[in-house]
Structure 1
Amino acid sequence: MENRFSSNLLVMFFLPLLIQLCATSEYTRPSPRQLIFRAHNRSDSEPQQVHVSLAGNDYMRVSWITSDKHVKSIVEYGKSQGKYESSATGESSSYHYFFYSSGEIHHVKIGPLEPSTTYYYRCGGAGPEFSFRTPPSTFPIEFAVVGDLGQTEWTASTLEHVGLKDYDVFLLPGDLSYADSQQPLWDSFGRLVEPYASTRPWMVTEGNHEIESFPIIYPRGFKAYNARWLMPHQESGSKSNLYYSFDVAGTHIIMLGSYTDFDSDSDQYKWLQADLANVDRKKTPWVIVLLHAPWYNSNQAHRGEGESMRQAMEELLYKARVDVVFAGHVHAYERFTRVYDNNANSCGPVYITIGDGGNREGLAMK
């Protein structure tokens, strides 16, 4: 475990909050800002809401939406602008939610790709050119971590800060769009984040605002989330898009689902147990976990909501010597010392709450 404090891994926590170093003054954050709605301004056949994600070793998944249902799920890509030496085809689908009908949602897995390389790509055989940079294969690597992002003016400010950094992978521990069953807000969110999510891999897990269940009609929930934000669950042996893992540059990252079964008889528990058993700390000396509802929380907001999951799964993380656990849900920043079973423990993970990326509900101040 000599590498647990290695400076080779840098994680940036983005909060639209100024931390003042003067102990005699306080910072008062203004009230929540207004919702930003991004309208569709491209042709029906052109890609919109483009985002990329890691999809196994040396592969990326390109996802986008078209209003035209007949656009092919094809991505052309190459290392030079306008020159596409390779192409790949994928699949598309759509969904209905009450009176809402989504556009055609495309997912295409491309690769193998070289590390630390900029690729230029085009979706559906037409439309604008995009580019992304693949993560490095070895240290150093830099992550940006933002929870509870939303789509307000604060969100735009947070994303501007993120965009100024030369990070490698974006991590989001739940609560993406805050659509809350208003499906057009999913589309608006996809357009808002496209300038960032199309250039670096975005790896996300679900929060409570992604559930969108409705008795009898949509009892299982997560219909929009699963359709739009396909993550590499199959590549990591998971049966559900709500939890998965991936490796990147000496780091094993586990995305857990706070809102699906997690007790010792559940598929998620058994998958996590097997996933942790397969971690090779010589290849991935860092192990990081993300989930939505924090297991440790001194804020009055959402107190105790992650407790049952902690009781079920904490021992697995402790025995595997997980380094850091990031959570959202609570709209504040908090960092704990290394903890296990409610006590300071030098072998436990550091727990960090990073839950105020720009949501419409404001800060949890108590």
Structure 2
Amino acid sequence: MGMVMQMRLLQLVVLFIGVFELNGVVCSYTRPPVRKTIFVPHDDDDSNSPEQVHISQVGQDKMRISWITSNSGPAKVEYGPSPSSIAFSETGSTSSYHYTLYESGEIHDVVIGPLKPNTVYYYRLGDPPSSRTYQLKTPPSQLPIKFAVTGDLGQTEWTKSTLEHIEKSNYDMLLLAGDLAYADMVQELWDSYGRLVEPLASQRPWMVTQGNHEIEKIPIIHSEPFTAFNARWRMPYEESASDSNLYYSFDVAGGVHVIMLGSYTDFEAGSSQYQWLQGDLKKVDRSKTPWVVVLIHAPWYNSNQAHQGEKESVNMKAALEGLLYQARVDFVFAGHVHAYERFTRVYKDKADNCGPVHITIGDGGNREGLATNYIDPKPDISIFTEASFGHGILEVFNASHALWSWHRNDNDEATASDSAWLTTLTSNPACK
């Protein structure tokens, strides 16, 4: 832990130098006490055993399995429909990265498939294969589907209870709106986070986008942003013709198109992300894919006093809101603000029956605490606010109806606090 303390000191120096290039308006607000950060060590007797295992969807019938080992070795996965029928195998790639004095372990990525939908598979990692057998479940190929949705997860005792609640929800896929590990340049905390989430992330696909805590850019010392995020959490951006791991899209369950956008990479008109998004939205056939869901990190709509006026929110909204509105996007999930908030359907700051529902879900369990102060009076477009840790569940039942529910962590119990039935905009004649 000596290295961790040294890196914490480095963080303070960097913050003193340049406040990490986040040039938004700073608002003061009081955060209540938080629970302590959890550091999860690598406790296996075999230092080269697989760890930090997580999976993500690639295409309609494949999964990427990622893991880390201390030493180099083949990136190989053996898999099958039962522990006694592991008859298939695929090989992939191995990489690593340096960050100041830190050198990562060997990061293995293997894509397996084709896989049957809504099916449990068993798998082993490495060659020779590890002694442990893992299992994963593929998403369904048609509706219904259940998403767990969270943001600003971190690795505190609140995080632990959030993960326990999500696990009990029997979700099909997790969507994470940025700020994963809160490593903030302490790379050992990325390793700890990978171990903390492995029990869930090794069994269901986790689809993530980046937040400000993933930037990890140090003036002069380390000028490349998102080094650890891009190396450790590789998403299927090639599948959606994106040129960046920071924004991508995918289809799931034969009826939902999910778009992950990057709040901290260029999004202005003419940028690569803007042009990619414009083309991606045009490709969606809403007669076949009735639901479109977008995730960002910095919210475009926010009645909390925290993070008001930041350029990543204001400028991104100005650049991209029109594209999402014209495409009739149904939901926009965001993180960054450490509280929960649900808005009505909205466009250009006014209620609009053809606009998306904006939901802030940046309350997964971060170490910075909750944002408890809201603007008074509350805007009419804001339907529900609560400064509590928790997670959300989006159940898309069919081509027209979905149920959204938010569950707060109340004395370590998942308490349903807000819910709403919603219909897709494709079912509204006025929005066609």
Q: Equivalent residue for 1:91? A: 93
Structure 1: which 4+ aligned runs deviate by more than 6 Å? none
Give the letter aligned to residue 139 of structure 2: P
- Alignment-mate amino acid for residue 55 of structure 1: V
- Is contact 1:318–1:349 with CA below 8 Å preserved after alignment? yes
User: 2:287 matched to 1:285?
Assistant: no
Alignment of 1:250-265 (within 5 A): 250-265=255-270
Deviations 1:80-136 (A, max 9, x none): 014211110000100111111100000000101000000000111223110010000
CA contact (8 A) 2:56 2:206 kept: yes
For residues 166-177 of structure 1, the aligned pairs below 5 Å read 166-177=170-181
How far apart, CA to CA, are the structure 1 residues paired with 2:215 and 2:67?
21
The CA deviation at 1:215 is 2.1
CA deviations 1:289-341 (Å, max 9, x no partner) are 00000000011100122010000000000000000000000000001111111
Aligned counterpart, 1:195: 199
Contact 2:330 2:355 in 1 (8 A): yes
* Alignment check: 8 A CA contact 1:82 1:120 kept: no
Quote the residue 1:315 is aligned against. Answer: 322
Aligned residue among 117, 121, 124 for 2:123: 121
Deviation at 1:154, TM superposition (A): 0.2
Tell whether 2:203 aligns with 1:210.
no
Residue 393 of structure 2: aligned partner: none
**In structure 2, what residue type is equivalent to 1:190?**
G
CA distance in 2, matches of 1:217, 1:233: 28
8 A contact 2:32–2:369 mirrored in 1: no
Give 3-state SS (helix, strand or coil) of 2:240's partner.
coil
- Partners of 1:347 and 1:133 lie apart in 2 by 35
Match for residue 333 of structure 1 among 331, 334, 340: 340
Residue of structure 2 equivalent to 1:130: 134
Q: Is the 8 A contact 2:51 2:69 kept in 1?
A: yes
Unaligned runs of 5+ in 1: 1-28
Partner residue of 1:186? Answer: 190
State the Cα deviation string for residues 245-292 of structure 1 (Å, max 9, x = none).
000011000000000000011100000000000001122100000000
Structure 2, gaps ≥5 residues long: 1-30, 374-432
1:1-366 equivalences under 5 Å are: 31-42=33-44, 43-69=46-72, 71-124=73-126, 125-249=129-253, 250-305=255-310, 306-366=313-373
Cα distance, 1:222 vs. partner?
A: 0.3
Aligned-pair distance for 1:229?
0.1
CA distance in 1, matches of 2:360, 2:212: 16
CA distance in structure 1 between the partners assigned to 2:201 and 2:173 by the alignment: 10
Residue-pair matches, total: 337
* Contact 1:47/1:127 (<8 A) preserved: no
Q: What's the TM-score once normalised by structure 1's chain length?
A: 0.91
Which secondary structure does the structure 2 equivalent of 1:120 belong to? strand
TM-score, with structure 2 as normaliser: 0.77
Confirm or deny: 8 A CA contact 1:148 1:358 kept in the other structure: yes
CA distance in 2, matches of 1:287, 1:154: 30
| Other structure's SS at 1:235 match | helix
SS at match of 1:271: helix
Native 8 Å contact 1:252 1:284 kept in 2: yes
Tell me the percent identity: 65
**Further displaced range: 81-90 or 60-69:** 81-90
Tell me, in whole angstroms, the C-alpha distance in 2 between the residues paired with 1:144 and 1:114.
Answer: 21
1:161 alignment partner AA: H
Once residues 220 and 354 of structure 2 are traced to their aligned partners in structure 1, the CA distance between those partners, rounded to angstroms, is 45
Partner of 2:411: none
Contact kept? 1:295, 1:304, Cα under 8 Å: no
RMSD: 1.0
Return the structure number with greater helix share. Answer: 2
CA-CA distance at 1:46 after TM superposition: 1.2
The answer (yes or no) to whether the contact 2:278–2:323 under 8 Å persists in 1 is: yes
Quote how far apart the aligned CAs of 1:30 are. Answer: 7.0
Q: Give 1:74 shift.
A: 0.3
**How far apart are the structure 1 equivalents of 2:188 and 2:222?**
18
Inter-partner Cα distance in structure 1 for 2:317 and 2:214: 21
Partner of 2:236, secondary structure, is coil
Report the 3-state secondary structure (helix = DSSP H, G, I; strand = E; otherwise coil) of the residue aligned with 1:234: helix
2:146 is aligned with what amino acid? E
**Contact 2:38/2:157 (8 A) holds in 1:** yes
